[in-house]
Every structure is written in C-alpha cells, then in structure tokens.
Amino acid sequence: MHLNYLAFAVPLFLAFIGLEYLVATKQGKTYFRFNDTVLNLSVGIAERLADTFTVGLFYFVYRYLYEHYALFSIRPSVLLWVALLLCTDFVWYWYHRLAHEVTLFWCAHVVHHQSEEFNYTVSARITVFQAFLRTGFWAILPVVGFPPGMITSMLLVHGLYPFFIHTRTIGKLGVLEYILVTPSHHRVHHASNPQYLDRNYGDVFIIWDKLFGTFTKETEEPVYGLTKPLNSNSFLWQHFHFVLEMVYSVRHARTWGERFRIVFGRPDNVHPAARAILEERFIIGKDTVTETPKLNNYVIWQIAVTLLLLFSFLLLEHYVPVFIQVCISMLIVSTLINCGAILEQKRWVFYLEYARFVILVSSVYYCWPQPVVLLGAVVVMAGGFYFHGALRQRYLNLVYRGIEN
Ligand SMILES: [Zn+2]
Ligand SMILES: [Zn+2]
C-alpha cells in the first residue's frame, strides 16, 4: 500500500498542542483562547490541504531550475548538508525580513501574526500564498546547484523546527539562546510592543539577526498580535484584509511613484483609514462576539471532523480520485468559512449548509452513481426550499441558542 506517512504530522502536532495545554493548565496559565485556537487551526488545515496540490509544482520548479540553470554541480555529503542548512536558513532570514518590510509580501505573511495568543497552534498560521512566496525565495538554492531531492528533504526539517518555538511554556534555554532561535526569541518576533517590532526574523539560527542588527532579547512580557488588532473571526477577512487595504491605497494614490511605494515599500505606507473604511464596507467587527457552550460545541465538532477528514485524505491521497479530492477540499474550505462565520454569528451560515449538502451528494453520486442518490437529494432540497423560513429559523435557534440576534 502506498500511504503518505507525512499525514501523521497532523495527529503528532495535535498531541503536542494537547501536551502544551496540559502544561499551561498545570502552571495555572491561560495560554489558549477558544476562538484564537479555532482560527489558528483553520488556517493550518487550509494550508495543509492546499499543499497537497502545490507540493508537486514546487518540486517541478526546483527540478527545472536545477537542470537548466545550476551554477555548480553539488554531490550530497555531510558538509554539503550543513552548507544547505545554513543557506536555507540564510534565505529564510531575508524572505522573512522582506515579508515584514514589503507591503506586497506582508499581504501573505500578515496572517501568521494575527493571533493574540502565542502557543503551538499559532505555528499553523501559514497560508498557501506564503508557501508560494517562500518557494520563490528558495528557488535560489537549485540555481546554486543543490539537488531538488536534497532541498525538499531540508525544507521538511526546516519547516518542522518553527513549530516548537511557538510556546510560552518554555523559558530561556541558557547557552542555546546564543545560537538557535528559541521560544523566547520568537515570542519577541510575535509581539507588538514597540521595542519588539520587526525583530528576530530567524528560523533555526539566531546568528543572522545578530549579524544584520535585528536581534532583540526578551526583557518585558510580550503583547501578542498586530499593532492594529483585527477584531474579526472571519476566515476570509483574515486571509484577504491586507490585500484589500493595499488595493484601496493604490486606488486612492495620486501618482505612479506613490503607487509603487505602497506596493513595494513598507506596510506603513497603506492608507491609514483603509482598514476602517473596508471594515465598514464588509460589515466586519459589527457583531458582538459572544461565545456559548452550545455554539462552541458545534464549532469543536466541525473542526474535529475536518481534522479527521484531512488526516485520512493526506494518508490516502494516492488513492483518492481527483473529483473526490476537489469535493473534499471544497467541503473542508466551506466548513472553515462556516466556523469563522459562526464565531461572528453571521446569519448567512445557513446557506453554506445547502452548499455543503450539494458537495456531499456530488461525491456520494461519484462513488455510487445510482439514480436513487439524485432522487433523494432532490427530495431533500425541495423540502428544504419549501420549508425554508421555518428551517432557517430552527437552525439559527439551534446554533445560536441563548444569543440575541
Ligand atoms: Zn513574521
Ligand atoms: Zn511565528
């Protein structure tokens, strides 16, 4: 059987998250907030899913560049693995630094910094846009002459390390603080305290920050999140708000020079009122976000089932037909949008249930193409439309019980 064993990263990460939660509880600390955890996991699930479709493309790009443009012919050896680790980390430093200093790149990286908590779930906040951006930077490695197989193995290890630095349960690590990026260093990176802004970009080694003058020690308690917090649980808004802010600023710029400065200059160049105006336009942050056990349960179940679906999908990906892959992806993305919208108490979530039903029926019909499946689906949909008003009210009462709408 041809299983994808990388899928076991999902239960492994969840086990570490559970362990961190237990340690935090034992220490009497609250490092986890319900909506932050759900949203962090949602971003991570979407990225893992998108990865299954893009990882082949990235390998193809590295291979193409290596075969056509490699400057040196490098054969794998211990010394060269070390060289590759250092090169990868060096490229990461500049990728990460520019992701903070260039608006266009910040559009992708901002999602990593939206959480106002700091725990292992924050490490999941990587988007597929960020994966594309990183690949662009790492494309220099095959051009230098590192074989694509070596690069992808290194990126796997290099991608694993940052998971462990997203925690408040580990203090300072003695002598390691001088060489490696530690949880303490990365807490500074995620903080919005003025003295901590745009510091500690390193991924594995802290030497680059010390070399290029961006290193700061953790001295006072960090305050996590963006300098202008989002105040929104919306999955889509979190992914696209900064792109929209950039587009808004470009449209309101007067000269081409100004437009260029907005896109390729520092993120501070976006229009200061863009966020507020766009929030108004997309009715973001208008609803009072009130959590209730009832509402939380519905979200927890959805995330749990989605994680199980993701794990099975990744494990068996070589056996899943393309049509079912597309259905599973649409089902997972609509569920993540649903969870975010439920946390904002949006009433349109009800219509998403119709969409999920159609996706589900399509995949069942693909696997079992019997007229009875379509007939059953049509009867259910017709009933749904006929009793639409009552059904919608019942659904909203069920999901949002105890919350005044
Ligand atoms: Zn960052
Ligand atoms: Zn981070």
Does 218 map to a domain? no
CA of 110 to the centre of ligand 1 (A): 7
Distance 162 CA to ligand 2 centre (A): 7
- Ligand 1 centroid to 228 CA: how many Å? 15
| Rounded distance between C-alpha atoms, residue 405 and residue 394, angstroms | 13
pLDDT of 399 = 78
Q: How many domains does the chain fold into?
A: 3
Whether residue 351 sits in one domain with residue 250: no
Domain assignment present for 226: no
According to the model, what pLDDT value does residue 342 have?
84
Q: Which of 225, 251, 281 is the last residue of a domain?
A: 281
Considering the domain architecture, whether residues 277 and 313 belong to the same structural domain is answered as: no
Please name the amino acid found at residue 72: F
Same domain for 151 and 192, yes or no, is yes
User: What pLDDT is stored for residue 401 in this prediction?
Assistant: 67
Does 329 lie in the same domain as 185? no
Rounded distance from Cα 95 to ligand 2 centre (Å): 14
- At residue 405, the pLDDT reads 47
Q: Which ligand is nearest to the CA of 130?
A: 1
Q: What angle do CA 244, 186, 151 make, to 5 degrees?
A: 80
- The answer to whether position 228 is within a domain reads no
pLDDT reported for residue 51: 85
pLDDT, block means (10 residues), the chain with 405 residues: 88 95 92 91 92 86 93 85 94 96 96 95 92 90 92 89 95 94 97 95 96 95 92 88 96 94 94 90 64 76 94 92 92 91 83 91 92 92 88 83 54
pTM of the model: 0.89
242 with 309, same domain: the answer is no
Q: Is residue 270 part of a domain?
A: yes
**Claim to verify: residue 105 and residue 203 sit in the same structural domain:** yes
* Domain co-membership, 249 together with 204: no
Of the bound ligands, which one is closest to the alpha carbon of residue 224?
2
Ligand 1 centroid to residue 208 C-alpha, Å: 15
My answer on whether 254 and 349 are in the same domain is: no
- Indicate if 150 and 182 belong to the same structural domain: yes
Cα–ligand 1 centroid distance for 21 (angstroms): 24
Quick one: tokens of 405?
């709408």
- Shortest CA distance to 44 belongs to which of 200, 198, 238? 238
How far is residue 328's CA from residue 366's CA, in Å, rounded to a whole number? 12
Give the pLDDT of residue 292: 66
> What local confidence, expressed as pLDDT, does residue 105 receive?
96
CA 388, CA 405: separation in Å to the nearest integer? 19
If you measure from the C-alpha of residue 108 to the centroid of ligand 2, how many angstroms do you get, rounded to a whole number?
13
20 and 160, same domain (yes or no)? yes
User: What ligand has the least distance to the C-alpha of 92?
Assistant: 1
Range of the domain at 300: 293-399
Residue 224 lies in a domain: no
Residues 70 and 105 in one domain: yes
Q: What spacing in Å lies between the alpha carbon of 356 and ligand 1's midpoint? A: 34
Rounded CA gap, 71 and 88, in Å? Answer: 17
For the record, the structure tokens of 375 come out as 């007939």
Residue 85 CB partners (closer than 8 Å, separation 6+)? 154, 157, 158, 204
CA atoms within 13 A on the CB side of 50: 15
CB 344 within 8 A of CB 232: yes
Any domain includes 42: yes
Residues 29 and 135 in one domain: yes
The alpha carbon of 310 and the centre of ligand 1 are apart by a number of angstroms equal to 26
